[in-house]
Amino acid sequence: MLDEIKIGFEIHEQLATRTKLFCNCSTNYRDSDPNSNICEICTGQPGAKPMAVNREALEGAITIAMMLGCEIKREIIFLRKHYDYPDLPNGYQRTSTPVGVNGELAGVKIWEVHLEEDPGKYDPITGKVDYNRCGVPLIEIVTAPDIRSPEQAREFLRELMKIFDYSNKTRKEGGTMRVDVNISISNQARVEIKNINSIKGVYKALKYEIMRQKNLIKRGLKIRRETRAFIEDQMITKPMRLKEYAEDYRYIPDPDVLPIKITEEFLEKIKKKLPETPKEKEKKLMLKYNLPEDVARVIASEYELAKVYEEVAKHVDARFAAYWIKDELKRVLEYNDLTFTQSGIKVEHLVELLKMIRNEEITAKVGKKIIEKMINNKKSPREIAKEHGLLNVISDENIVQKIVLEVINEHKKAVQDYLSGKKEAVNYLIGQVMKKTRGRVKPQIVLKYLNQYLKR
Ligand SMILES: [Zn+2]
């Protein structure tokens, strides 16, 4: 088909293990001095032999492969993938034959899931190398070129991030994902864009690349098979090298690593502990709490958030809590660019806040103000409410009446507007009453008195 876009991925993410894939060095390369977590194995010293493969890493890769619906292979062999770069002291990277094959996620076929070693870090400007990251276990996920647009690519990656989150097998600190994207248009040559480290970056790189390739095709030029780099600050891609072929890597089985047999027993053990997928959680929430799909989807978007919701629903009306979390809590999290886990909000505080709203101790409006102040705050919502004088709904209607009258007298222009037919002026007046009462009065009561007085 003309102009048909085909996009596929190779996604790399670090597995959360204490030690490296073939040695006992710590995987903590972020808060350690350069070259402090290294040994003769992960720096490829002559004669050094790898230890047996890290079981935790193997279990992590199989768990994720299972969650992606893959068929698990019973024998895994480690291959040496040769290339020359200063961050790779061995001169090759160990990468496994597929751990799992033929999975599916969000309508995209998962071809293969592999286990491999991360290289070190090389700074081409200073020429310094830090080997701490050498040998940290990575999972690699290879998809079919089933994706048809940058938007679908973004959606797929978001779903994959959710799987990682639910699996609890990848590193939590984030920023460790690296994506290689391949794209071809109208059956022209396939172009690969290497090492993009965010979903946003993938989206921008694809947008640029589609435009670039379509322009070339329009001018009757051929697309070269090549590897390009995404230059994030300029939002463009640049040629790196002509695309290498698999044979360039001279893959050979690593003679130092024995083939790994995956036993039925080992698989059963993993299956027993297999976490729910985000989709399964979504369906469960819909059924158990009678939630609409869009609400369940938002709550299931983060493992920790779904867990917290189920806890909250034990104490507060489940539907009320669900909508509140979807609309208000999510709004505050998104505004602050935080996940629920990062927000530091305690589940008991959330329960307390929702109960205060349900018991009409505070209005919904005040509740929204309080949740904004609950981010990384040790104080309970009741303490926050007290501190800001937000406690107690003004239920004495005489007081409400008095305030409404004050507002009418102070905002004659709005009253005139209202009387001359601008009905929306009433919202302004409600707003003024809310301001005076710091939101501690129910809008319905304000409206009742406003209507009474404005009719006179
Ligand atoms: Zn080591």
pLDDT tens per residue, range 180-196 = 999 999 889 999 999 99
User: Strands (DSSP E) along 106-242, which ranges?
Assistant: 108-117, 121-123, 128-130, 137-143, 178-185, 191-196, 226-231, 236-242
CA 443 – ligand 1 centroid, Å: 65
Return d(Cα 287, Cα 421) in angstroms, integer.
48
Report how far ligand 1's centroid is from the alpha carbon of 342 (Å): 31
Encode pLDDT of 410-431 as tens digits. Answer: 988 888 898 888 888 888 988 8
Instruction: Grade residue 245 by pLDDT with cuts at 50, 70 and 90.
Output: low
In this structure, the answer to whether residues 262 and 290 fall within a common structural domain is: no
21 and 124 assigned to the same domain: yes
Domain of 201, in residue numbers: 5-270
Instruction: Give residue 76's pLDDT.
Output: 97
- pLDDT score of 435: 84
What spacing in Å lies between the alpha carbon of 348 and ligand 1's midpoint?
43
Taking CA 152 as the corner, what is the angle to CA 341 and CA 6, rounded to the nearest 5 degrees?
A: 135
Ligand 1: centre distance to CA 96 (Å): 19
Please indicate whether residue 153 or residue 245 has the higher confidence score (pLDDT): 153
Beta carbons within 8 Å of 396's beta carbon, 6+ residues apart = none
The reply to whether 421 falls in a domain is: yes
pLDDT score of 179: 97
Per residue in 285-322, pLDDT tens?
999 999 999 999 999 999 999 999 999 999 999 999 99
Q: How far is the CA of 48 from the centre of ligand 1 (A)?
A: 10
Say whether both 247 and 284 belong to one domain.
no
> DSSP per residue over 366-401, as a string?
HHHHHHHHTTT--S-HHHHHHHTT--S----HHHHH
User: What's the chain's Rg over C-alpha atoms?
Assistant: 29
| Over residues 363-384, mean pLDDT | 91
29-74 confidence digits (pLDDT tens): 988 999 999 999 999 999 999 999 999 999 999 999 999 999 999 9
Distance CA 239, CA 228 (A): 4
Span from the CA of 47 to the centroid of ligand 1 (angstroms): 14
What whole-number percentage of the chain has pLDDT above 90?
Answer: 70
Among 240-244, 309-313, 434-438, name the one with the lowest average pLDDT. Answer: 240-244
pLDDT for the residue 244: 60
* Cα 94 to ligand 1 centre (Å): 14
Per-residue pLDDT tens over the stretch 66-99: 999 999 999 999 999 998 888 999 999 999 999 9
Measured in Å, residue 27 CA sits from the centre of ligand 1 at 9
Q: Is residue 265 scored above 90 in pLDDT?
A: yes
Write down the pTM of the prediction: 0.84
Cα separation values, 339 from 45, 193, 379, 405, Å: 42, 29, 20, 44
For the cut 70, the answer to whether the pLDDT of residue 363 exceeds it is yes
Residues 221, 317 within the same domain: no
Question: Are 328 and 300 contacting, i.e. CB atoms less than 8 angstroms apart?
Answer: no
Considering only CA atoms, which of 450, 432, 449, 433 is closest in space to residue 441?
Answer: 433
Q: How far is the CA of 33 from the centre of ligand 1 (A)?
A: 15
pLDDT at residue 243, as a whole number: 55
Domain count, the chain: 3
* DSSP H or E run through 434: helix 425-437
Query: Residue 402 maps to which CATH number?
Result: 1.10.10.410
| Structure-token match 């040998």, residue found | 135
Split at pLDDT 50, 70, 90, the class of 248 is confident
pLDDT of residue 1 exceeding 60: no
Q: How far is the CA of 49 from the centre of ligand 1 (A)?
A: 11
Question: What's the confidence (pLDDT) of residue 451?
Answer: 85
Q: Is residue 35 part of a domain?
A: yes
Q: Which of 322, 281, 326 is nearest to 303 (CA)?
A: 281
Output the pLDDT for position 389.
76
The average pLDDT across 262-290 equals: 97
Chain centroid to CA 306: how far? 14
Question: Which residues have C-beta under 5 Å from ligand 1, the single-atom ion?
Answer: 23, 25, 39, 41-42
Q: Do 251 and 105 sit in the same domain of this protein?
A: yes
Q: What is the 3-state secondary structure (H, E, C) of 61-107?
A: HHHHHHHCCCEECCEECEEEEECCCCCCCCCEEEEECCCEEEEEECC
- Is the residue at 97 inside a domain? yes
- Do 262 and 62 contact (CB within 8 A), yes or no? yes
Do 9 and 150 have their domain in common?
yes
Indicate whether 383 and 402 sit together in one domain.
no
| Cα of 22 from ligand 1 centre, angstroms | 7
Distance from residue 354's CA to the centre of ligand 1 (Å)? 50
Cα–ligand 1 centroid distance for 39 (angstroms)? 4
Using the mean position of ligand 1's atoms as its centre, give its distance from the Cα of residue 139 in Å: 19
- Does 329 share its domain with 404? no
pLDDT for position 401: 84
Task: Report the pLDDT averaged over residues 335-364.
Answer: 91
Between 2 and 181, the higher pLDDT residue: 181
Query: Quick one: 11 and 130 in the same domain?
Result: yes
Neighbour tally for 337: CB within 10 Å: 7
- pLDDT-based confidence at residue 247 (cuts at 50, 70, 90): low
- Is 392 part of a structural domain of the chain? no
* Domain-ending residue, one of 228, 244, 270: 270
Q: What's the gap in Å between 133 CA and the centre of ligand 1?
A: 10
Amino acid identity, position 92: Y
Cα(25) to centroid of ligand 1, in Å? 4
Centre of ligand 1 to C-alpha 17, Å, is 13
| Structural domain contains residue 44 | yes
- Ligand 1 geometric centre to CA of 46 (Å): 14
Residue 430 resides in a domain = yes
74 CA to centre of ligand 1 in angstroms: 27
174 CA → ligand 1 middle, Å? 23
Q: State the pLDDT at residue 242.
A: 63
Helical residues (DSSP H) of 103-231, grouped into ranges: 150-167, 199-218
Q: What is the pLDDT of residues 129-142, one digit of tens each?
A: 999 999 999 999 99
- In degrees, rounded to 5, the angle at the alpha carbon of residue 309 between the alpha carbons of residues 285 and 304 is 100
Same domain, 74 and 40: yes
Indicate the residue among 245, 270, 295 that finishes a domain. Answer: 270
pLDDT of residue 436: 82
> Considering only 112-116, 284-288, 325-329, 424-428, which range has the smallest mean pLDDT?
424-428
Considering the domain architecture, whether residues 426 and 353 belong to the same structural domain is answered as no
Tell how far the Cα of 38 is from the centroid of ligand 1, in angstroms.
4
- Of the residues 332, 358, 387, the one at which a domain ends: 387
**What is the 18 CA–ligand 1 centroid distance (Å)?**
12
For residues 230 and 189, state if they share a domain.
Answer: yes
Give the distance (Å) from ligand 1 centre to CA of residue 177. 22
pLDDT reported for residue 2: 56
CA of 121 to the centre of ligand 1 (A): 15
Residue 159 in any domain: the answer is yes
pLDDT confidence bin for 173, thresholds 50/70/90: confident
Is residue 94, in this structure, part of any structural domain at all?
Answer: yes
- Residue 393 reports pLDDT greater than 80: no
